[in-house]
Structure 1
Amino acid sequence: MLKKISRKLALYLLPFIGSVLIKILYKTNKKVFHAPQELSDENFIMACWHGELLMIPYAYLKYRKTPHVKLIISDHFDGTLIAKTLSYFGFGTIRGSSRRNAARALLQAIKALKEGCDLGITPDGPKGPRHEVADGIIVMAQKADVKITLVEIKPSSFWQLNSWDKFVIPKPFGTITYYISDLIDIGGLELEEARTLIKEGLLKHEQ
């Protein structure tokens, strides 16, 4: 009973607090964007590693002033916290992952893409292995015939959690550097070829 009450309280308070902290961290850091001036008006998939997820809203909002995006978020309690936090940025969610409700999430994502919605995904989420690309992003892009943009987010100063993804939280008063790729078309690639291209693109500026 106590656990249930604690979770309800956490779901009520933490997402709002989290969204405020993300905004504070963004505003108190200098920002450097190595990115295309604009991306296509056509919808796309935006991808980043799970450990760099925290500041991804501002990569997307650089190109879409009015969000029209759904993020694939794992269907468990931590995922619910993330989903509610991102809702404060106008982001929708599709619940599921490669380990839970995978088929449903895949079908919903392809449907959303075909209807013109953008999609956000962490190719190594929700539980890793870290920096390994699961099949989902490739299948979605090829089935819906959309392109992918790859995002790396590198703060100059940060806290790093002792979690499987080495989750990064920027410290205030540093610099957050965004590396955003041009749109990549993987439509004609074999699975492993596409996987390698995505992985190498997301590790291009890894130290």
Structure 2
Amino acid sequence: MKKYFKLNILPYILYFLVKFIYSTNKKVFHHSKVSSDEAFIFVAWHGDLLAQPTNYFKFRPNGNVKAMISHNKDGEIIAKIYALLGTGLIRGSSSKGAAKALISTIKEIKNGCDVALTPDGPRGPRYTIADGVVAIAKKSNAKIIVLNSKPSKYWQFNSWDKFVLPKPFGRIDFYLSEPYSIEGLEFDEAKEFIKDKMMINAMS
């Protein structure tokens, strides 16, 4: 019964909570001007996951995006919430189903679909860059766009990712960077480059 509640009822409760929270906050978007309609790799920190469907669909109201979500229990909940928010799914992570997820993600980009990744997910450490995002960018030749959000009032959980849940009736600043290319960078250089860009508007 507990497992059924967690996987089949809790996601709907959280979905309506998220909708309520984001509808009551003043939303301010700091989006770079991106003229291209090519497929991009969107990256966000794991602790900032809930804000990013709102951020992405402001940028591309009719966009087609698929997020890589892990197969663990928390991933199942996030996957259902993301599906309710209009985001497609690619199942897998750097630790489970990695090869299959990598191939699927590259195929989606080649077919013109945006993809969303959390480079420090699903298990951290916080604010680290896993190899997957670099491998996907190099093999697909897709540019990377960084997504961040900063709420004025929020709860921050004592989890490894310091997960952030905005409080109602505040202000949320959403950030969307210009597209970045890692072409010509060595693997470790690319990881450091991506991290530097993701930290510009990251929560402390």
TM-score bin, normalised by smaller chain: over 0.9
1:159 to 141, 155, 158: 155
> Where in structure 2 are the equivalents of 1:42-57 lying within 5 Å?
42-57=38-53
1:197 to 184, 188, 193: 193
RMSD of aligned residue pairs (Cα, Å): 1.3
Displacement of 1:6 = 2.0
- Aligned position for 1:185: 181
Displacement of 1:39 = 5.0
Number of residue equivalences:
203
Letter in 2 for 1:31: K
Q: 1: CA distance between counterparts of 2:90 and 2:63?
A: 15
Displacement of 1:134 = 0.6
Q: 1:136 to 1:44 in 2, by over 3 A?
A: same
- Structure 1 window deviating more from structure 2 (136-145 vs 32-41): it is 32-41
TM-score (normalised: structure 1) = 0.93
Q: Any conservation in 2 of the 1:39–1:183 contact (CA below 8 Å)? A: no
> Which consecutive residues of structure 1, in runs of 5 or more, have no partner in the other structure?
none
Displacement of 1:67 = 3.6
Deviations 1:2-48 (A, max 9, x none): xxx32223222122221111111111111121112445211101111
- Aligned position for 1:113: 109
Q: 2: CA distance between counterparts of 1:186 and 1:147?
A: 7
> Which consecutive residues of structure 2, in runs of 5 or more, have no partner in the other structure?
none
Q: Any conservation in 2 of the 1:67–1:91 contact (CA below 8 Å)? A: no
SS in 1 for 2:180: coil
Displacement of 1:136 = 0.6
Q: 2: CA distance between counterparts of 1:10 and 1:205?
A: 32
- Structure 1 window deviating more from structure 2 (185-194 vs 79-88): it is 185-194
Q: 2: CA distance between counterparts of 1:24 and 1:67?
A: 23
- Aligned position for 1:63: 59
Deviations 1:103-149 (A, max 9, x none): 11111111111111110010000000100001111111111111110
Q: Any conservation in 1 of the 2:29–2:174 contact (CA below 8 Å)? A: yes
Q: 1: CA distance between counterparts of 2:98 and 2:35?
A: 29
TM-score (normalised: structure 2) = 0.95
Q: 1: CA distance between counterparts of 2:32 and 2:135?
A: 25
Correspondence 1:94 to 2:73: no
SS in 1 for 2:195: helix
